[in-house]
Structures are given as C-alpha cells and as structure tokens.
Amino acid sequence: MGNVESAVDADAANDSAIIWAPAAADASRIAGRWPVAGIMANADVPNLVQPGDPVCINGARSGVVCSRLISADGYNIRTEAVTQGNDSGAPVFVVAPSGSAILIGIHRCVDGNAGMATFISTVLDRLHATVALGTGQ
C-alpha cells in the first residue's frame, strides 16, 4: 500500500509510523462526510470530552462506529465501541456542533469490551507530522 517513511517504537503504548499512500480525493474529510477541523491536544481531551459523550472511529472494516467515551487519561482513550480486526490506525474523533470532525486519537485495539486508542497529538508530535484539514462542509 505504501512505504514506511518514519517509525517510532521507543514507547510501546504509542507505536506509530508514517506510511505514504496515494491521497484520496476527500482526504480532509472523514468517511467523505465530516471535514477535519483540527486535532485536540492530549490535555484538552479529558476536559472537553467527558465520559458518556459520543466518540466515533472510521475503521477500514467496521466503517463509522460511534459510541460513548469510557475514559481518556494517561496514554489511553477508552470507548464502548467494539470494532473488527484490521481497524487499527483508524481516526478517533468527536463531531463538533458545526458538523466538523475534531481528531482526538488513533484506534489501537479492542481490550475486552472497550475500544482503545492512542492520543493523536502525541503521535503527530513524535512523528513531526500534521493532518489534512477540511475546507468546509
């Protein structure tokens, strides 16, 4: 699918890599629907997204799945979402009142009945990367 540009594995909880692949025509939208407005810093997630608030992922196999946030602390974002295999790397986001997506994490795995994600701000900082932002709805 692509070539690994940069990988960081010094921290097992935040393994990450950049893989270059052809850009989709709607790369700045999630599922062709929600324009990406930006990312939420790690410290802001627990303050702005409360347990019980809806959090969504867009998995390669599961598609868009939204469920309630269980917790967001330390390295982990835990949601009630149960995804399928091969959804790792999917964006984890909240939908703002404007209808835009705010990225908060990257789906990592399912642990029991909870979806697990890594904070996206940490990954982007470690890889010196940014996200493509949407230009409108």
Provide the domain limits for residue 64.
26-127
Beta carbons within 10 angstroms of residue 32's beta carbon: 9
Which string of DSSP letters, residue by residue, matches 41-93? -GGGHHHHS-TTSEEEEEETTTEEEEEEEEEEETTEEEES----TT-TT-EEE
pLDDT 10s digits, 98-121: 999 999 999 998 888 899 999 988
Predicted confidence band of residue 137 (pLDDT cuts 50, 70, 90):
very low
Residue 9 falls inside a structural domain: no
Residue 13 falls inside a structural domain: no
Residue 114 falls inside a structural domain: yes
Residue 82 falls inside a structural domain: yes
Q: In this structure, what CATH number is given to the domain that contains residue 76? A: 2.40.10.10
Number of domains in the chain: 1
Cα(first)–Cα(last) distance of the chain, in Å? 29
β-pairing, 34-39 vs 101-111, is parallel
The answer to pTM > 0.75 is yes
Phi-psi region of 83 (alpha: psi -120 to 50; beta: other; left: phi over 0): beta
What span, in angstroms and rounded, lies between the C-alpha atoms of 73 and 42? 9
What span, in angstroms and rounded, lies between the C-alpha atoms of 21 and 41? 26
pLDDT 10s digits, 46-85: 889 999 999 999 999 999 999 999 999 877 899 997 788 8
Amino acid at 18: I
